[in-house]
A and B are shown apart, each in its own frame.
Chain A
Amino acid sequence: MAETTPEQKNFLGVPVVKPRVAFFELSSCEGCQLQIINNEATLLDFLSLVQVVNFREAMTEKSDEYAIAFVEGSITRKNEIEKLLEIRRNAKILVALGSCACFGGVNQLKNRFDPAWVKREVYGYSPVDTEKAQPLEDFVKVDLNIYGCPVKKEEVEKIVTNLVIGKDIRYPRYPVCMECKANENVCLFDVGEPCLGPITRAGCDSWCPNNKAGCWGCRGPADAANMEEMKKIMDEKGFAEEIMIDRLECFGGFKEYVDKLRKGQAP
């Protein structure tokens, strides 16, 4: 499943084997895949680490023999389940790439509505095949999640490098707020902006708050995220519950807590 080349790379004197990697997309904007070719400065180095055998957006050749599969997008149709199961059978490591694959992403916002109304609103009475939007892990074992909408390319490259050289992959356990503080940003709450930085998993280097845009929680909850405290901050700063729900439910990472809030069961 892997290939060595004459100009083989080394890591600490151990030869690195170039794994065969494949990229697939389900219901998505294909932006996370694009993030990978969007990294012009390091793209060629990155490509020297792996052997891309399947990447429909960039190449015509394709192969079903691959060790690592990156799957972008959520499941919204039955044929996507079949495709995902096939990828699972072929791949040694299946990576959920981006928030749609990890949590359902923005697509899962349609799950708020009656499916019949959703279809009618867009397609009238013409038949169209669509199901509830769900993350990959509802159907197959996912070996690795890469969070974010979009994924942060530096993080993808780090994770892939670690996969290739066999190093452990660790996610930050702390929230975006920590990175934001380390970046010495002015707290957005102090300038009147709502932000989910205190509860969202770090790893994006506080991408949005660095640009004076409050966090919308695209990476899902940090370990031991304190939802009650978050709610208290939002209340104290005068942000309506709707504002908190809009952000929490946008990418699907906080589904359980949103359900509680909507049912009025959250403290």
Chain B
Amino acid sequence: MKLNCNIDVHHLTRVEGHGNIKIRIQDGKLVEARWEVVETPRFFEAFLVGKKWDNAPWICGRICGICSIGHTLASIRAVENAFGIVTTEQTRKLRLLLKHMETLQSHILHLYFLAAPDFLNSGSVFPFIESSPEVVVRAAILKLLANDVCDCIGGRRMHPTRTVVGGFTMLPAKKQLSEFGGRLKAACDDLSKTAELFRSFAIPDFSRETEFVSLKGEGDYPFIGGDLISTDGIQKKEYEYKQMTNEYIVEQSTSKWSRLSRKSFAVGALARMNNNFASLHPKALETAISFGLKPVNHNPYMNNIAQLIECIHVVAEASDIINDLLDSEFSEPRQAVTARAGVGVGAVEVPRGILYHCYEFDDTGHIVKCDCVIPTSQNHANIQHDLEELAAQCSRQGKTDRDIELLAQMLVRAYDPCISCSVH
């Protein structure tokens, strides 16, 4: 039994944005365990009002530097749904490929640069440039591949340029696309090595029963649009997203919180996997099973492993999409857009979980109302409740302050929070 402990992490490092962890144990009792978000709000939902529809994806991509492609795609989908635009198969494939490579880029960044140092007893990845260059180079090669494909499809890896309502401003050259085949094959080997690396890590043994929310696949592992599902059995349509998110304001956070069937729920790689396990690519499924990961897994630290499994999934599927695209005749990249009054919702699975953009337009296509619900803001309440449970458990187990602090930091990092995104 741990009697006293006082942990105060001001501005947790190796996460995107600003959050604090506070844990206080007195005379063996947990007095406080808090996850505070102190990020400055930027008010995207307010300043979009009055802007014409074509501004939305361009501006909203800038909510986040890490998942700008996901935000752009959710924004585009919301506009297209509002205007009743049905995209071509070609556009859908290109968008999915782009999305997959953002997932790879973001997951690799998190796994190697943000999460791995904790398991290797280091404050950052930088010392490994000298001590284990092959590991850092492997991470760099995987990220570079992902970013190069994003450049090729989206025009730019961050704040993409070619992605527009109705399709793309221009298409990639087939020759360029075909050149990724070999690199994607090499990436499979690099991901096997990544799996070996993570197999050597001791994933903390902690579980708390949780509700998981994600898109629901229709025979596929879902990323862009579709029905919404929770492991507690709730199912809704995309346009009913507010009944899944139920945002509310709390005093300890500049980000809003969410709840569904319980006091909190989780989104992200682990949530997607818990809801769509059987739809994983066979290669990814095999690795998941080798890690003992099966639905419903309630250990938040396993989100790291779920991200790794998704890397394998997206790389395998990206190869298939590229082959399909190379075999098809390219059609016009962009459909015409006619604005109309209405409301549109776009739900997209971005690296950290399900993201919703919703816009209401007047009959000239100007935004009247804007709402964005960010994965990390949906996770904040769950992080809070995990943290309370973790602190209480650590106290019972008599863990040292140092161990508790590290486990608490690793817990938050496992969610891969994108905090500035959550306070958009």
User: A-side interface residues toward B, CB under 8 Å?
Assistant: 25-35, 37-38, 40-41, 43-44, 47, 52, 55-62, 76-77, 80, 105-107, 109-110, 112-113, 117-119, 121-124, 126, 128, 130, 133, 149-150, 207-208, 210-213, 216, 242-243, 246, 250
Contact = CB atoms under 8 A, between A and B. Distances in A.
Nearest to B409: A60
Nearest to B366: A242
B62 A207 contact: no
Contacts of A43: 140
Interface string B116-150: 01000001111001000000100011011001000
A242 B366 CA distance: 11
Contacts of B50: 112
23 contacts: A26-B40, A27-B40, A27-B42, A28-B65, A28-B420, A31-B62, A33-B65, A40-B141, A41-B140, A43-B140, A57-B15, A58-B14, A77-B40, A106-B42, A106-B44, A107-B42, A118-B43, A121-B49, A122-B46, A126-B249, A130-B40, A133-B42, A212-B169
B235 interface: no
B64 interface: yes
A241 to B, nearest CB: 12
Contact of A29 (B63, B144, B155, B162): B63
Interface in B87-134: 109, 113-114, 117, 123-126, 129
Interface stretch (B51-59, B282-290, B315-323, B388-396): B51-59
B129 A47 contact: yes
Contacts of A52: 126
Contact of B66 (A34, A207, A208, A210): A34
Task: Determine which residue in B14, B45, B143, B159 has the highest number of CB atoms from chain A within 10 A of its CB, and name it.
Answer: B159
B296 interface: no
Nearest to A191: B169
Contacts of A37: 109, 113
A122 B43 contact: yes
Given A31-B65, A118-B46, A58 B125 contact: yes
B124 A35 contact: no
A59 B123 contact: yes
Contacts of A126: 249
B52 A149 contact: no
Given A60-B124, A118-B43, A216-B58, A123 B156 contact: no
A112 B410 CA distance: 41
A216 B117 CA distance: 39
Nearest to A151: B158
Contacts of B117: 60
Nearest to B62: A106
Contacts of A128: 41, 254
B79 interface: no
B325 interface: no
A213 B169 CA distance: 7
Nearest to B65: A31
B322 to A, nearest CB: 20
Given A59-B13, A60-B123, A211-B170, A113 B40 contact: no
Given A30-B17, A76-B41, 18 more contacts: A26-B40, A27-B42, A29-B63, A30-B65, A40-B140, A41-B144, A47-B129, A56-B13, A58-B14, A58-B124, A59-B13, A107-B42, A113-B46, A121-B46, A213-B169, A246-B55, A250-B55, A250-B59
Interface residues of B, number: 56
B159 A150 contact: yes
A97 to B, nearest CB: 12
A35 B158 contact: yes
A149 B169 contact: no
Contacts of A109: 47, 59
A37 B14 CA distance: 13
Contacts of A122: 41, 43, 45-46
B303 interface: no
Contacts of A77: 40
Nearest to A41: B144
A126 to B, nearest CB: 5
Given A30-B17, A121-B49, A213 B155 contact: yes
Contact of A31 (B58, B159, B169): B159
Nearest to B162: A211
B126 A207 contact: no
B161 interface: yes
For the complex of A and B, list the 5 residue pairs with the smallest distance between their C-beta atoms, beginning with the closest. Answer: A31-B65, A59-B124, A211-B155, A60-B123, A40-B144
B16 interface: yes
Given A110-B43, A150-B158, A208-B161, A250 B58 contact: yes
B420 to A, nearest CB: 6
B68 interface: yes
B5 interface: no
B14 A38 contact: no
B11 interface: yes
Interface string B251-278: 0001000000000000000000000000
B11 A34 contact: no
Contacts of B136: 44
A246 B16 CA distance: 29
Contacts of A210: 155
B13 to A, nearest CB: 4
B421 interface: yes
A54 B144 CA distance: 24
Task: Determine which residue in A47, A126, A211 has the highest number of CB atoms from chain B within 10 A of its CB, and name it.
Answer: A211
B123 A246 contact: no
A44 B139 CA distance: 12
A38 B147 contact: yes
B157 interface: yes
A30 B124 contact: no
B65 A32 contact: yes
B158 A31 contact: yes
A121 B45 contact: yes
A27 B159 CA distance: 17
A149 B58 CA distance: 11
A153 B398 CA distance: 48
